[in-house]
Amino acid sequence: MLVSDYANAELPPLTRLTTFVLKKGTSDKELAKAPGTGPFKLDRYRAGNARLVRNDQWYGGTVYLDAIEVTMFETPQAMANALLAGQIDVASNAGAVAARTAKSRKDVQVVRRPDDMSMPLVMRTADGPFADARVREAMRLVVDREAMVKQVLSGYGTVANDIMGTGDPGYAKDVPQRERDLAEAERLLSEAKFDLSKTYELVTTEDISGLAESATLFASQAREAGIKIKVVKQESGAFYEKTWLKGDLYTTYWGTNDSVVFFASKTLVSEAGQNEAGFADKKFDATYRKVIATADPKARAEVLKELQRIEYDRSGYLLWGMADGIDLAASKVRGLPELAGYGRVQLENVWLG
């Protein structure tokens, strides 16, 4: 049974990602023994590493692999190095730098999954130096999006337009693409009385390939508008304890991209548990509820455009581009998915040649 506090016609998003179907009355003790309903089931798990074995009871047809060994690495580069050394068969989300290295190797294949990952800058809207919407708009006009895609992603990506969920069929493609405009950025900063004498910290991590590099390049671009930014790298644990959901300016990343409503519900409505920018906009909240309560596809599409326009104008996200997913695999691996986001782990059709 699904229970909602308000009208909600969005059944597919309610049953996606981390939603599991359980028999009514299932206890926690029983849940710990649940094998799962996918093509593979958990055999063992220890310190982030896992072994999955084929689920012969799976409803979806033939699964070719007997088992999958999942190994955690400290950095994407360490993972890519293990692949290139023949220690593992697949390096998932290895990044553009690893792709460049592997391109000339005949024993390695590069799998490119378009429109896969977002790496936005988050500007806190609730308080602090970026609370003024004019300042946030100036920051969005400072960034050179083409240069970010070319240099940070080595061209393995596309320019984005500050709206999360670019893979959504209802994504607002008619919203004008923001272009770099330093003169307008400087005018907005002056109008908002933004203090250009201060240096502002931009906190980032090296959790995924290109994240820290995006912060460094943006800081360089911002200097052209007189904004002084110091890039601060934090370890992942410290970042999520001290910065995430709290910081004035930081990088984040999301590996799912197929739903504008998903991001609205998770990160943008006032009560969202992962409201990264502290965004609280009554008009946005009301429009979001109207979207999810609208069952008619045409009417929903129009309200969804309105929701995206508010995000484009006032949210705390600066989404400069979308990174392609880059997986490296040994040449013997066949049938790897080319889907964005978590589609990369749909491995039921993978086999070894």
Task: Identify the pLDDT of residue 115.
Answer: 86
What is the CATH architecture assignment of 116-323? Roll (3.10)
Whether the pLDDT of residue 40 is over 60: the answer is yes
Beta strands in the chain (DSSP E): 40-46, 49-54, 67-70, 90-91, 108-118, 121-123, 157-159, 199-204, 228-233, 249-251, 317-318, 321-330, 333-334, 351-352
Whether the pLDDT of residue 15 is over 80: the answer is no
Distance CA 222, CA 89 (A): 41
pLDDT band at 6 (very low <50, low <70, confident <90, very high): low
Task: Identify the pLDDT of residue 34.
Answer: 74
Mean pLDDT of 1-20: 65
Task: Identify the pLDDT of residue 270.
Answer: 98
Task: Identify the pLDDT of residue 33.
Answer: 75
Whether the pLDDT of residue 36 is over 80: the answer is no
Give the mean pLDDT of the chain: 93
Contact 322, 118 (CB under 8 A): yes
Whether the pLDDT of residue 102 is over 80: the answer is yes
Task: Identify the pLDDT of residue 1.
Answer: 59
Task: Identify the pLDDT of residue 9.
Answer: 72
**All structural domains of the chain with their residue ranges:** 40-113+326-352, 116-323
Q: pLDDT tens digit string along 238-247?
A: 999 999 999 9
Mean pLDDT of 16-26: 71
Task: Identify the pLDDT of residue 341.
Answer: 78
Contact 340, 115 (CB under 8 A): yes
Q: pLDDT tens digit string along 259-309?
A: 999 999 999 999 999 999 999 999 999 999 999 999 999 999 999 999 999
Whether the pLDDT of residue 184 is over 60: the answer is yes
Question: Which tops the pLDDT comparison, 351 or 93?
Answer: 351
| Closest by CA position to 223, among listed 295, 142, 163 | 142
Distance CA 141, CA 97 (A): 27
> Is there a shared CATH topology between the 40-113+326-352 domain and the 116-323 domain?
no
Whether the pLDDT of residue 30 is over 80: the answer is yes
User: Residue 293: exposed, middle, or buried by beta-carbon count in 10 A (0-12, 13-18, 19+)?
Assistant: middle
Contact 280, 270 (CB under 8 A): yes
- Rounded to whole angstroms, the maximal C-alpha distance in the chain is 65
> CB-hemisphere CA count at 13 Å for 78?
8
Residue whose entry in the numeric block shows the structure tokens 């799912």: 256
As given in the structure block, the two tokens for residue 90 are 């697949």
CATH code for 40-113+326-352? 3.40.190.10
Distance CA 298, CA 239 (A): 42
